[in-house]
A and B are shown apart, each in its own frame.
Chain A
Amino acid sequence: MHLGGYEEYEYAKVYWEPLQDEGVFLKNILKIVGQTFLLWVIYYLGTLIVNYFHIPLPGSVLGILILFVLLSIGVIKEQWLIAAVNPLLKHLSFFFIPIAVELMQWGDLFIKKGHLLFLPLVVSTLVALLATGGVVELLTKSNKQVKE
């Protein structure tokens, strides 16, 4: 296994280009609507399955798994989705605004308890960085040494 020498990761693809290309969005509007409908069908299917079988899993997560499988076996091509996925993920944070506005109902709670939230939020974030980074660093380095 090649784990050193990162030149072999040219194929690492990044979809995250926030806040760009508004013009492309307007030109491709019909394409985007159709592709969004396809995404919606998969999402709906995921929701239907988890509800029907009472699986304690978000319908959207099952949707991700379904779409990943359909892409992998070639039933759906990436070109059929990319025009919709790009703007949707780019503006993903828009959808959280209406949800976060509900916080106006929780104002008192945050004023009273707010200071108590910092410790768990900050410590667990550092733990996440250290645990993930540490484990992966250790594994990739030891693998490299084995190879050498």
Chain B
Amino acid sequence: MQSLTMTAFTILLTIGIYFISLRIYQKIKIPFLTPLLISTTAIILVLISSGITFEQYKPGKSIMTFLLGPATVGLALPLYLNRQLLRKMLLPILLGIVCGSISTVTTAVVLAKLSGLDALLVTSMATKSITAPIAIEISRIIGGDPAIAVAFVVFTGTLGSMIGASFLSLCKINTPVARGLAMGLAAHGQGTATILHEGQLQGAMAGVAMALSAIFVSFIAPFYIPWLL
């Protein structure tokens, strides 16, 4: 019974803090203080200060993440709604995604390895530019750690959404299609939300890049990452 109360408490705590952090994020509008970062930090602080271990938090975790799979499948819908755009620009989209995904995965893994990081960190680095729900699954398959993978994904998304647009302008990458695809590929959902401010086409392209790069990397990762390591 006590563990049931604990589970209920951790779930209510997580949901409550999430909605509070949404409000905070809307109010202060500091790009790197995302609801995810605020909530996670707050929850960890509450758990540590009240002496709750992660083992006690775990049962609530599996209940709360139950809908993650179905939500991820839902990514097919924006992709389908943009099918005309996809068909029209198929070659640049596909080549951009293949080149971008392979180059980012390779640099991340090789540089992490050269920095002398543990195998677990290097492997979890491989999925850093993939949207979190799929990064979690890929990192399980290739032997990384899902929680560390999420941390890398969020760091990348935050960095990309903060500097991405100016970096693209600096590199004289100016067409809306190229900017959108680059932001979606490099910084997944957070990049998509950011580049959407430049226009609908950029936002739609970013969404397409985010979904397709996740699919592409999940096909190559189980073979390519062990080969890189």
Count of residues in A whose CB is under 8 Å from the partner chain: 85
A60 to B146, alpha carbons, bound, how many Å?
A: 15
List 18 contacting pairs A-B, 8 Å CB cutoff, sorted by A.
A14-B200, A19-B22, A36-B67, A39-B74, A58-B134, A64-B215, A89-B75, A92-B133, A92-B189, A98-B61, A101-B43, A101-B47, A105-B54, A116-B115, A129-B183, A130-B173, A132-B185, A139-B95
Interface set of B (CB-CB < 8 Å, partner A): 14-15, 17-18, 22, 25-26, 34-36, 39-40, 43-44, 47-48, 54, 57, 60-61, 64-65, 67-85, 88-89, 91-93, 95-97, 99-101, 103-105, 107-109, 111-112, 115-118, 121, 125, 128-129, 132-134, 136-138, 140-141, 145-148, 150-152, 154-156, 159-160, 164, 167-168, 171-179, 181-183, 185-187, 189, 192-193, 196, 200-201, 203-205, 207, 209, 211, 214-215, 218-219, 222
The answer to whether B115 and A104 touch across the interface, beta carbons within 8 angstroms, is no
What are the interface flags for A6-48 relative to B under an 8 Å C-beta threshold, 1 for contact and 0 otherwise? 1001011111101100000000000000001001101110110
The answer to whether B36 and A96 touch across the interface, beta carbons within 8 angstroms, is yes
**B203 to nearest A CB, angstroms?**
4
The answer to whether A68 and B207 touch across the interface, beta carbons within 8 angstroms, is no
Chain B residues, CB < 8 A from A132: 96-97, 99-100, 178, 181-182, 185-186, 209
The answer to whether B185 and A128 touch across the interface, beta carbons within 8 angstroms, is yes
For B201, give its contact among A12, A66, A67 (CB under 8 Å): A12
The answer to whether B71 and A89 touch across the interface, beta carbons within 8 angstroms, is yes
A1 to B88, alpha carbons, bound, how many Å?
A: 8
For A129, give its contact among B79, B84, B167, B211 (CB under 8 Å): B167
